[in-house]
Amino acid sequence: MNLSRRHFMEAGLGAGFAGAVGASFGLNASAETNKMPAWHLGYQNAPVNGYEPSQMKLVFGKAPSDLKGSLYRNGPAQLSYGDQHASHWFDGDGLIHRIAIEDGQAVHQARFVETRKRQEEQAAQAFLAPGFGTIGDESYSVQSADDTNAANTSVLVVNGELLALWEAGSAFSMDAETLETKGLKTWRDDLKGMPFLAHPKVEPDGRVWNLAVGGSRVGIYRIGANGALEDFGMVDIGRAAYIHDWTMSERHLIILVQPWINETFIPPVVAGFEWQPQHGLQMLIVDKDDFSNQRWVQAPPRMFYHTGSAWEESDGTIKFDAAFYKEPVLGVDGGTAEIRGEWIGEYASEEGILTLVEIPPQGDAKLIETGVIGEFPQVDPRFRGKHRNLVALASGASANRPGSTALAVHNWTSGESQSFMFGDNRMVEEFLFVPKAGGQSDLDSWLVGPVLNIKSGVREICVFDAANVSDGPVCIWQADYAWPLGFHGTWA
Amino acid sequence: MTRTASFAALIAASMIATPIALASDLTVNVESIARTQGTIVLGLFDEATYNGDGAVDGANLKVEGNDVTVTFEGLEPGEYAVKLYHDVNDDGEMNTNPFGMPTEPFAFSNDAKGRFGPAKWKAAKFTVDADGTVHTIKLN
């Protein structure tokens, strides 16, 4: 086959799939009934009991023989009760997916995290709990943050234990095989109910670092590869900045204090944000061996959700990559209209710019913007905190609908970028690096991630060779149904 | 169960408010205690004391099973509410995490629950009759 790379998916696969699979499965029927746009498939409810294990079909290419493991993902999948829509995308109940890949086969399954919020709202068939964009019902009691925990943002596997993550409350312990909810995770008795951010940082040897954010006070978790809490400390970041993600090098934790401030953090949380660009983007650099050894660094104002990872040069310069915005996006007005099937296109001009942050041993940080736009930056887990080449992003915003249309990979060593355009019919989500067997560099990796085929109304799991993304997928498995868009995943 | 005098933190100031028209007994049962150790620290309040520092009466109840009971004698009939916590490690304090959220179990009468704060008086209050009252609270 000699297909144009850019139009590969459309020409080579789109038409074939549509004919072979049709649009009668899964959630698509409901979308058509409601006269919703096709992309609204990404914002519909998953079945109440999730999805039983179901074999996906290899519809393109040859599955790499060394690709063995599970892609776990999390995302909001209860976005309406009858005519009542969730007030914000971030407030839907977390659905945990597992796509188990072995011997060229892929099996998908998913279950909701059985939070108190979900159990009471399912019983009432109505949204009750307050949240990021939700005031909540007066009758719904809130005695701790976990009473509002949606457990919908990411997943972590540490020492074989699967955790469903949210950012303002505890992690939930899950069964890694059946995806059953076991209960709230308490790392130590005196830390019961402390938040556990949805972006823990895992060192190549398995040690996990994470933050607990409460206004200007931030807790730091250090968890051994054996899953036991090794240390917990507190630092002060000066102001109640919104912290969704942060970054880490081999020796330092880097807490980004963006000038997007929320002093109250009372539901609806989104109403309490204030953009204060006069502060710029400040960063607190914390010594991993001594949390009291700190340094502040100043950068121009930027808003962000996600970082890639940091590394340190021999002269002590710290570098990291992130998707930066000139001003706040999504949280302010976004995440509401999409649930209702409305697209106002306001984000088309506000795209995350892949940016390299250089922090010299002394002085202010420098921001180096690339021409790459995108979100959900990911790096090879073997090189977290270390010097590496690649960062992968979901890229290519569409003027016609929310979500990404492409997978992009930028190489910091060569300065070159590659991308693969899936086109307007596929919504592209976060792709994860999976090291190839025996590989030494992050160029020796697979990229594994989901797309939502809105033309055929089905889900696909795609595998790329990280060094040759523009060649198109190595293989694609397809489910005969769709599931809603998610946020983040992990490979284990 | 015995009542002790070490409930000072919550109720010391209120002891002067000894009821005058002594009449009723109130028995409070606390059930579903998950860990059989430590002490249930329980305060009895009326409307005037519920949001303050004092209490009408109180008790420290040693946990040796999954429930404890205390009887307050000679109460004036009327409306009361109970706040309690399980001092699991017997350090005399309601322990909190670094963000100030309780890490030890707590409860209110009527099993009332708060919304971004303690349960309101209106939700937690109950009536102690002239003939005496038994009130049961589930801890978890």
What's the CATH code of the domain at B104?
A: 2.60.40.10
Domain membership of residue B43 as a residue range: 8-138
Mean pLDDT for A216-221 is 98
Mean pLDDT for A287-296 is 98
Q: Which of B95, B113, B114 sits opposite A190 (nearest CB)?
A: B95
- Closest residue on chain A to B100 (Cα): A194
CA A314, CA B112: separation in Å to the nearest integer? Answer: 59
CB A42 within 8 A of CB A36: no
Tokens encoding A124: 């009432």
Q: How far is A197 from chain B (nearest CA, A)?
A: 14
Tokens encoding B3: 């009542």
pLDDT at residue A244 is higher than 80: yes
Sheet (strand A161-165) strand order: A154-158, A161-165, A172-174, A181-184
Q: Report strand pairing: A69-76 vs A80-81.
A: unpaired
CA A123, CA A111: separation in Å to the nearest integer? Answer: 17
pLDDT score for A143: 95
pLDDT score for A337: 87
This model of the complex carries an ipTM of: 0.87
CB A397 within 8 A of CB A415: no
* Domain residue extents for chain A: 8-491
CA A149, CA B96: separation in Å to the nearest integer? Answer: 19
Q: Is residue B46 part of a domain?
A: yes
Q: Is residue B1 part of a domain?
A: no
pLDDT score for A261: 95
A390-446 pLDDT per residue, tens: 999 999 988 889 999 999 999 999 999 999 999 999 999 999 999 999 999 999 999
Q: 3-state class of A27 per DSSP?
A: coil
The dihedral built from the CA positions of residue A134, A431, A309 and A321, taken in this order, carries a sign that is negative
pLDDT score for A1: 29
Residues from A in contact with B at Cβ < 8 Å: 138, 140-145, 189-195, 212, 214, 217, 219, 234, 266
Q: Which of B2, B4, B81 is nearest to B43 (CA)?
A: B81
Q: Which of B86, B70, B95 is nearest to B32 (CA)?
A: B86
Cα radius of gyration rounded to whole Å, chain A: 21
Q: Which amino acid is at A444?
A: D
Mean pLDDT for A158-184 is 98
Which residues are A64's β-sheet partners? none
pLDDT score for A347: 55
* Subunit contact B114:A143, Cβ cutoff 8 A: yes
Percent of chain B that is helix, strand, coil (3-state, to 5): 15, 40, 45
* Subunit contact A234:B97, Cβ cutoff 8 A: no
pLDDT at residue A314 is higher than 90: yes
pLDDT score for A252: 98
> Which residues of chain A have a CB within 8 Å of the CB of B119?
141
- List, for chain B, all residue ranges whose pLDDT scores fall below the cut of 50: 1-19
CB A152 within 8 A of CB A74: yes
Mean pLDDT for A244-260 is 98
> Which residues of chain B have a CB within 8 Å of the CB of A144?
101-102
Q: Report strand pairing: B24-31 vs B133-138.
A: parallel
Measured CA angle at B132 (ends B130, B136), to 5 deg: 135
* Subunit contact B116:A142, Cβ cutoff 8 A: yes
Q: Which of B97, B114, B116 sits opposite A190 (nearest CB)?
A: B97
> Which residues of chain B have a CB within 8 Å of the CB of A191?
97-98, 103
Q: Count structural domains, chain B.
A: 1
CA A116, CA A136: separation in Å to the nearest integer? Answer: 14
CATH fold of A8-491 reads: Methylamine Dehydrogenase; Chain H (2.130.10)
Q: Is residue B97 part of a domain?
A: yes
Mean pLDDT for A30-57 is 88
Tokens encoding B49: 């004391």
Q: Which of B95, B97, B115 sits opposite A194 (nearest CB)?
A: B97
* Subunit contact B103:A214, Cβ cutoff 8 A: no
CA A380, CA A391: separation in Å to the nearest integer? Answer: 8
* Subunit contact A192:B114, Cβ cutoff 8 A: no
Interface test mutation site (partner A, options B101, B113, B122, max chain A beta carbons within 10 A): B101
CA A54, CA A271: separation in Å to the nearest integer? Answer: 41
pLDDT score for B4: 44
Q: Which of A150, A149, A155 is nearest to A73 (CA)?
A: A155
> Which residues of chain B have a CB within 8 Å of the CB of A142?
114-116
CB A449 within 8 A of CB A432: yes
Tokens encoding A160: 């074989």
CB A453 within 8 A of CB A31: no
Q: What are phi and psi of B16, to 5 degrees?
A: -70, -20
CB B92 within 8 A of CB B18: no
Q: Which amino acid is at A134?
A: T
Percent of chain A that is helix, strand, coil (3-state, to 5): 15, 40, 45
